[in-house]
Structure 1
């Protein structure tokens, strides 16, 4: 039986991370429910107090084929290395220097959106194609692969 999947990320600033990951993946921020023209209108109608308006945010694939990313505010900060991380496939079909140049270009773009570079792993054939280790604006690790 096929199942849909949503990726949920605990964080301190859901709006910031949703915006970052939307830019990283070519997603868009999820629009407000129903006939509301804005999230402010929707949250007003729901009676959500101002201090809770950034408790959650989501980014969605405009084509609807990839998983929804849901960001929820939690009180504790990130403590250790992620046990699960996302691999952003930024250089499919490329190899060697061409692959690493494409990954570096994508890393530069994501740094301009708040990411940090953590490491570079050079190609090591036959199995290692090379990748970059990055962190999103809250320090969650991901790879450019």
Structure 2
């Protein structure tokens, strides 16, 4: 037996305003909810993002983060699109610098943090390069004393 994930809930001061941001991020329509606003990504029948008004203003918000990947294209292009929508870059980390794979931590207009990882296309391309016998695999080994995550300072 197991559980199905149905909803990720974010508390916010203005659910409708924040829903406009997340609707653009996920390219998904805004719908009504019992005490908030629903955003159901296209093609998803059950999984939803649910935005509700803060239940206990002043209480620290959850450190839970959504992890998203570009459906198409490149991570840097998607990060540029999200910052144009109002997201703020918090941190950029390499998951594998040699392969060019990364994760970017962003915050929505109300400060809720979320992560965007390299796209499936970027990962597949990195795997292809890694598996290509003609490539120099020396550059794909972890650096000495590396945790695999490198912080990149952002302006």
Q: CA deviation at 1:106?
A: 0.7
Q: State the aligned residue count.
A: 115
Over the residues paired in the alignment, what is the CA RMSD in angstroms? 3.0
Name 2:141's counterpart in structure 1: none
TM-score w.r.t. structure 1 length?
0.65
Gaps of 5+ in 2: 118-155
Q: CA deviation at 1:128?
A: 9.2
**Structure 1 stretches of 4+ moved >2 Å:** 1-4, 61-66, 77-80, 122-129
The structure-2 alpha-carbon separation of the partners of 1:126 and 1:67, relative to structure 1 and needing over 3 Å to count, comes to farther
Q: Which has the larger radius of gyration?
A: 2
The structure-2 alpha-carbon separation of the partners of 1:144 and 1:72, relative to structure 1 and needing over 3 Å to count, comes to same
Higher strand share: 2
Gaps of 5+ in 1: 34-54, 93-98
TM-score w.r.t. structure 2 length?
0.61
The structure-2 alpha-carbon separation of the partners of 1:91 and 1:127, relative to structure 1 and needing over 3 Å to count, comes to farther
